[in-house]
Every structure is written in structure tokens, then in C-alpha cells.
């Protein structure tokens, strides 16, 4: 018996149909609906390939068998939305091994013609044209597969954190200041005051650690006002943020990221076989522990193995990340942590007595791309104020944050993972914009 207030899906006022993947040969009469993916007219025989979210099915119209339906289908066009009721029969030549003998046929909506973008044909189209016609591009089975895979990936990620007792939170997308720096902020007018779109929920996550929430995660959005032109940056970013308290050190944070990522990748390998096949991806789930190397070790490795020296001696550049990724992938490790970046921001634990690293800040490099940044935070407000003074950071911009942490804050840490970047690497896409339904960059504000 359903709980009070629960609505059965079958009770909703929806058109009667089943998905193409659920059609079995020699079953009773079924109804399907979707877009017309392909039309083949062979005179007295018309083959209609109908596409829904789950796949394709072939409908065969024979003039001598169903003359009225055969006549009706003569006017059908590519991407028309149709509904067909028919008898499924086994066919070795049809997608999925089954085709429909139609009993009923109707056009629910006609598509404009000609199409600005081919859906069924494998035509090489540049990314800009695809994004200009994104509503049609998203119909392609392989593009749709990217986002159904994304849904399964994030559902698995959230499942791991729910089972581990983390609290799902939502932090503001509008703030008075930023966690990273003013140059990367999008200014907005908030009533009669200046405000900014959020760069990161980090300060609010830390406040929740001081508030006793102990372990939180957020699937959200961040904004970066960088003037870039690369295949790995966008202006509106999907982020998965994590923060946890009562940690011993930054290794506890890395343990959480490693286990949760492995769980999510394993779930995709098991539950997204159709998507992986469509995208021609052989997903490798890292079963061994992720290597953890120091920042200095990373620099030494780049120098000795590749003769590469990052221009900024306090950070890894794009080429350095790619080379490290290639080096560790050859050893069977698609993911590697780099720990101990120097000259870090005031909110990271750094220059700790006894540490052999400059800070307890880490990056996770996955398949040659920085996937996340995180580490152990500084929870001593007095120490933070000293570092802020040394770095010339204006305390007034962070007073709400400093005050919140001044009333007793447990040792804590966290990280922010780029969902778009993760999806790009899992699916093997060339450009991060392909991993976003409607990407935003310095030159694109629509569709």
C-alpha cells in the first residue's frame, strides 16, 4: 500500500507507452513513442526508426498489409514526434533485434524542416555549431548518453555520502565576497548593494563545521570570471563540495575523496553499460590506493622524466598535470594526489611543525587533469589573522567567517570536485563544454 500523498507513476495523466528497451519480441501489442530518427522508403515498404531516451526501434509499414497506415506515413519527416501501437516481432536486422508491425500510428508533432543539425547521420560538425544548435545536438544518442551517465555518476556519489552520514546542504550563490579572489568574481547588483556570484561554498562549509554539522556535502554551482580560451575551463561550474570535522590531518580528507570516487566509478561501470558502449568508453575503476606524492616530488618527477619546469614554481601548470597523469596511468594509476603546495591561502593549514610539506593542501589529478583541490583547513582564527596580515588580505571582507570560527571550531578539512571535469574524463570527451548541457564561457551566454 502506498503512503498517503504518494502518487503512482501509472496514475499520472501520461500518454500510454513503454520505452524501446522494454519491447520484447513476440510480446502482446505495445505502444511506443518518440522522435523519428531515420526514414527508409523502399517503394511498397517504409522502415521508420523511432528514437526515445532509452534507444531505437524499427517500425515496418507494408503497403499491402496496412494500406491506410502506409499512406499516412508517407508524409512523415525526420524528428517528427510519433506514437505507434503494434506487435513486436523478432528481427535480426532491426536495432535491438526486434521490430514493430504497426496497428496504429499518429504524429504528435511535426518538426520544422530542414534541420539545422543532423541527428541520425554521423556528420563531423565543429563544437561551436553544435553548441549554437544545442537543443538538437542534445538529441543525439551519444550526447544524451553523456548526461544520463552524469546522472548515474552523481546519484552514486551522493549515495556514498548519504550512507556515510554526511548532511546534504545548500549554500548561497550570492555573496558579499569570494573565497578565491576579487579578480575572478562576477559582480552583480543586489538590490542597492554590490555583491558577487559565488566562487565556492568553502567558507560556508567551514562555518557549518564550527556549527557542529561534522560532515557535509553539496552538489552545486560556482562561477569564475576568468577570461580563458581553453578546453578545460568554463565560467559556470558544477561542483561537488565536501567538508568534514574531527580529522587527524589532510589524509583523512583524501581517504574520503578516494573511497567516494572509487564507489561512484564502480557504480557507473556496473549500471551505465549502455552509455559507456555508446561513447565507446572502457572505464577503468582504480582498485589500488591512489598514489600520494609531495609537490616537491612532483616537480622532481617532471624534471627528471620529461625535462619540464612549470613557469610558476609554486603550482603545476596544465602541461605538468598532463605529464603526471600520463606517467601514473602507465603504471596503472589513473588518479594521483599531489600534496603540500607552497604559498597557499590563509585558510589552509601550512608550515606545521614536524611536517615535511609546505602546506596540507592537495590536488587530485585524474587522467592528467586537476579534478579537485582540498586539504586540512586552519581552524585557529588567531593564526589565520596573522597569515592574512602577512598576505595583505583585508580582514573586513571575511569578518563573518572569522567570527563564526572564533567560537570553537574542530579540526576539519574538505575539497571541491569539478563535476564537469570528472564527466569529461570518464566519457573521454575532448572539451569540457561537451560535458555541460548549456555551457557558459566568456563568449557564450545562450542558448
Round the average pLDDT of the chain to a whole number and report it.
93
pLDDT in tens, 290-321: 999 999 999 999 999 999 999 999 999 999 99
* Distance separating alpha carbons of residues 447 and 434, to the nearest angstrom: 14
Task: Give the domain-ending residue among 58, 89, 109.
Answer: 109
pLDDT category, 34, cuts 50, 70, 90?
A: very high
225 annotated to a ligand binding site: yes
419 annotated to a ligand binding site: yes
245 annotated to a ligand binding site: no
420 annotated to a ligand binding site: yes
Please determine, for residue 7, whether its predicted confidence score (pLDDT) is greater than 50. Answer: no
Q: How many CA atoms lie within 13 A of 257 on its CB side?
A: 32
In a domain, 445, yes or no: no
Domain count, the chain: 2
Share of the chain above pLDDT 90, in %: 85
pLDDT in tens, 245-264: 999 999 999 999 999 999 99
Residue 79: name the closest of 43, 51, 42, 121 by CA.
51
Higher pLDDT, 88 or 179: 88
344 annotated to a ligand binding site: no
In a domain, 131, yes or no: no
Please determine, for residue 2, whether its predicted confidence score (pLDDT) is greater than 80. Answer: no
155 annotated to a ligand binding site: no
Give the start-end residues of each E strand in 92-197: 98-109, 167-168, 174-175, 187-190, 193-197
Shared domain for 95 and 160, answered yes or no, is: no
Please determine, for residue 353, whether its predicted confidence score (pLDDT) is greater than 70. Answer: yes
> What average pLDDT does the segment 392-402 reach?
90
Helices 141-163, 250-271: crossing angle, 10 deg rounding: 130
3-state helix, strand, coil in the chain (%, to 5): 35, 25, 40
- Contact by Cβ (8 Å): 55, 64: no
134 annotated to a ligand binding site: no
421 annotated to a ligand binding site: yes
Q: State pTM to two decimals.
A: 0.92
CA geometry: angle 356, 361, 362, nearest 5 deg: 100
Shared domain for 163 and 282, answered yes or no, is: yes
Range of the domain at 99: 9-109
Share of the chain above pLDDT 70, in %: 96
> What average pLDDT does the segment 264-270 reach?
97
Please determine, for residue 181, whether its predicted confidence score (pLDDT) is greater than 70. Answer: no
68 annotated to a ligand binding site: no
418 annotated to a ligand binding site: yes
Residue 387 DSSP SS3:
helix
In a domain, 322, yes or no: yes
Looking at residue 29, what DSSP letter applies?
Answer: -
Please determine, for residue 361, whether its predicted confidence score (pLDDT) is greater than 60. Answer: yes
Shared domain for 28 and 71, answered yes or no, is: yes
- Contact by Cβ (8 Å): 338, 296: no
Q: What is the pLDDT of residue 4?
A: 46
Give the start-end residues of each E strand in 295-360: 335-339
275 annotated to a ligand binding site: no
Pairing between β-strand 292-294 and β-strand 335-339 as defined by DSSP bridges? parallel
> What average pLDDT does the segment 175-195 reach?
81
Please determine, for residue 11, whether its predicted confidence score (pLDDT) is greater than 70. Answer: no
Shared domain for 274 and 353, answered yes or no, is: yes
Q: What is the pLDDT of residue 195?
A: 92
R_g of the chain computed on alpha carbons: 27
Residue 418 DSSP SS3:
strand
**CATH number of the domain where residue 295 is located:** 3.30.930.10
379 annotated to a ligand binding site: no
Q: What is the pLDDT of residue 232?
A: 83
Please determine, for residue 180, whether its predicted confidence score (pLDDT) is greater than 60. Answer: no
Residue 339: name the closest of 420, 410, 261, 253 by CA.
253
pLDDT in tens, 151-160: 999 999 999 9
Amino acid at each position: 500500500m502506498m503512503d498517503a500523498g504518494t502518487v503512482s507513476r501509472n496514475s499520472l495523466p501520461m500518454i500510454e507507452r513503454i520505452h524501446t528497451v522494454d519491447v520484447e519480441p513476440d510480446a502482446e501489442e505495445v505502444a511506443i513513442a518518440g522522435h523519428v530518427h531515420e526514414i527508409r522508403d523502399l517503394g511498397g515498404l517504409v522502415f521508420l526508426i523511432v528514437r526515445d531516451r532509452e534507444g531505437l526501434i524499427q517500425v515496418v509499414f507494408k503497403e499491402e498489409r496496412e494500406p491506410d497506415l502506409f499512406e499516412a506515413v508517407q508524409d512523415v519527416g525526420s524528428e517528427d514526434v510519433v506514437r505507434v501501437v503494434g506487435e513486436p516481432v523478432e528481427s535480426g536486422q532491426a536495432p535491438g533485434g526486434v521490430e514493430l508491425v504497426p496497428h496504429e500510428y499518429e504524429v504528435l508533432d511535426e518538426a520544422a524542416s530542414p534541420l539545422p543539425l543532423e541527428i541520425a547521420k554521423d556528420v563531423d560538425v565543429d563544437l561551436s555549431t553544435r553548441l549554437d544548435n544545442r537543443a538538437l545536438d542534445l538529441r543525439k544518442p551519444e550526447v544524451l548518453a553523456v548526461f544520463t551517465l552524469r546522472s548515474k555518476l552523481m546519484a552514486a556519489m551522493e549515495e556514498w555520502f548519504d550512507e556515510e552520514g554526511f548532511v546534504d546542504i545548500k549554500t548561497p550563490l550570492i555573496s558579499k565576497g569570494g573565497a578565491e579572489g576579487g579578480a575572478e568574481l562576477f559582480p552583480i547588483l543586489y538590490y542597492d548593494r554590490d555583491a558577487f556570484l559565488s566562487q565556492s561554498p568553502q567558507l560556508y562549509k567551514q562555518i557549518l563545521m564550527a556549527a557542529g554539522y561534522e560532515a557535509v556535502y553539496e552538489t552545486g554551482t560556482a562561477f569564475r570570471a576568468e577570461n580563458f580560451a581553453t578546453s578545460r575551463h568554463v565560467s559556470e561550474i558544477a561542483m561537488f563540495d565536501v567538508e568534514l570535522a574531527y580529522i587527524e590531518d589532510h589524509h583523512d580528507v583524501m581517504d574520503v575523496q578516494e573511497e567516494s570516487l572509487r564507489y561512484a566509478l564502480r557504480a557507473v561501470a556496473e549500471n551505465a553499460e549502455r552509455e559507456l558502449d555508446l561513447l565507446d568508453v572502457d572505464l577503468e575503476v582504480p582498485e589500488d590506493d591512489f598514489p600520494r606524492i609531495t609537490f616537491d616530488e612532483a616537480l622532481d618527477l617532471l624534471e627528471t622524466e620529461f625535462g619540464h619546469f612549470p613557469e610558476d614554481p609554486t603550482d603545476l601548470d596544465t602541461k605538468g598535470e598532463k605529464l603526471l597523469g600520463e606517467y601514473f596511468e602507465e603504471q596503472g594509476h589513473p588518479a594521483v594526489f599531489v600534496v603540500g603546495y607552497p604559498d597557499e591561502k590563509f585558510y589552509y593549514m601550512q608550515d606545521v611543525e614536524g611536517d615535511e610539506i609546505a602546506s596540507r593542501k592537495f590536488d587530485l589529478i585524474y587522467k592528467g587533469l586537476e579534478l579537485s583541490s582540498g586539504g586540512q583547513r586552519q581552524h585557529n582564527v588567531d593564526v589565520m589573522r596573522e597569515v592574512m596580515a602577512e598576505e595583505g588580505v583585508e580582514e573586513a571582507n571575511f569578518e563573518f567567517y572569522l567570527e563564526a570560527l572564533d567560537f570553537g571550531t574542530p579540526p576539519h578539512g574538505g575539497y571541491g570536485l569539478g563535476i564537469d571535469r570528472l564527466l569529461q574524463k570518464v566519457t573521454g570527451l575532448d572539451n569540457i563544454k561537451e560535458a555541460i548541457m548549456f555551457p557558459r564561457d566568456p563568449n557564450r551566454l545562450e542558448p
